[in-house]
Amino acid sequence: MGVDPKRPLVGFALVAVLCAVLMTLSVGRGWALELFHPGKPIAAAAGGNVDRAPAPVAAPAEPTPVSIPAELSAQPLGVSAGGPVPAKDAAKVTDQESDKESDVVEAQVDLQTEPPAPDTASSDQADDRSDKAADKAARKAQRDADKAARKAQRDADKAARKAQRDADKAARAADKAARDAAKAQRHAERDAEKLARAEQKSADHAVKHAEKAAEKAAEAAERAAEKAARKG
């Protein structure tokens, strides 16, 4: 069984078309990187939608002429030694290349028209930070309220103790005043009794002195009468 003489030519033609497609893609400013790794807008982290200018669509480059070795240039690519190559294969290769270029253009257009997806990770982080800040503020408010309640309780206890001390002091002062009044009354009573005894003693002494003076006067009168009687 002989080797098909069309196989080397068809393989070389496919290699040439593949090289042309690769060169076209390299001229298209790296569309593959934009397709699989699209650039993230700067403002996407903040949650806003950024309007991006559509990237210029690379025009399909003209197929680059490929040099054919001298040993293969004796025969045209489309014709083999055994007979003409069907036009169906060449049309199939051209259609595949056109389909690939159309897919590239459609992918770039989709990337340009598709709105940027919201950054849910950033929004979740912001929500977590907000929740943590709210919890921290609530705990601080609770601590402040507990501290204020304890201070108010201490102040109330201190005021109650001071009021009790003042009441006890007032009670002691009233008791002392009562004792002083009773003592003063007893002193007054003793002074009155002492004065009454002194007055009574003075009166008794005066009565006794008067009685003695009267007795002396009576005795003197009686002696004078006796003396006068003896003379007469």
Q: What are the average pLDDT values for consecutive 10-residue runs of the chain, which has 232 residues?
A: 68 87 72 52 46 53 54 46 46 60 63 56 78 91 94 95 95 94 94 93 91 91 87 72
Which tokens is 207 given?
Answer: 């009565």
According to DSSP H, which parts of 39-119 are helical?
A: 87-113
User: What is the pLDDT, as a whole number, of residue 24?
Assistant: 81
Distance between CA atoms of 32 and 24, rounded to whole angstroms?
A: 12
Contact by Cβ (8 Å): 67, 12: no
Reported as a single tens digit per residue, the pLDDT across 116-156 is: 555 676 777 888 888 889 999 999 999 999 999 999 999 99
C-alpha distances out from residue 59 to 89, 127, 158, Å: 26, 45, 90
Task: Give the residue extent of every domain in the chain.
Answer: 6-38+50-114
Question: Would you call 87 helix, strand, or coil by DSSP?
Answer: helix
Q: pTM for the full model?
A: 0.31
As given in the structure block, the two tokens for residue 76 are: 């045209």
Buried b (16+ CB within 10 A) or exposed e, 54-63: eeeebeeeee
The pLDDT value given to residue 28:
62
- The per-residue pLDDT for 77 is 46
User: Which pLDDT score, from 0 to 100, does residue 229 have?
Assistant: 84
Return d(Cα 231, Cα 202) in angstroms, integer: 43
pLDDT confidence of residue 230: 84
**Matching residue, tokens 């903040």:** 46
Tens digits of per-residue pLDDT, 206-225?
999 999 999 999 998 888 88
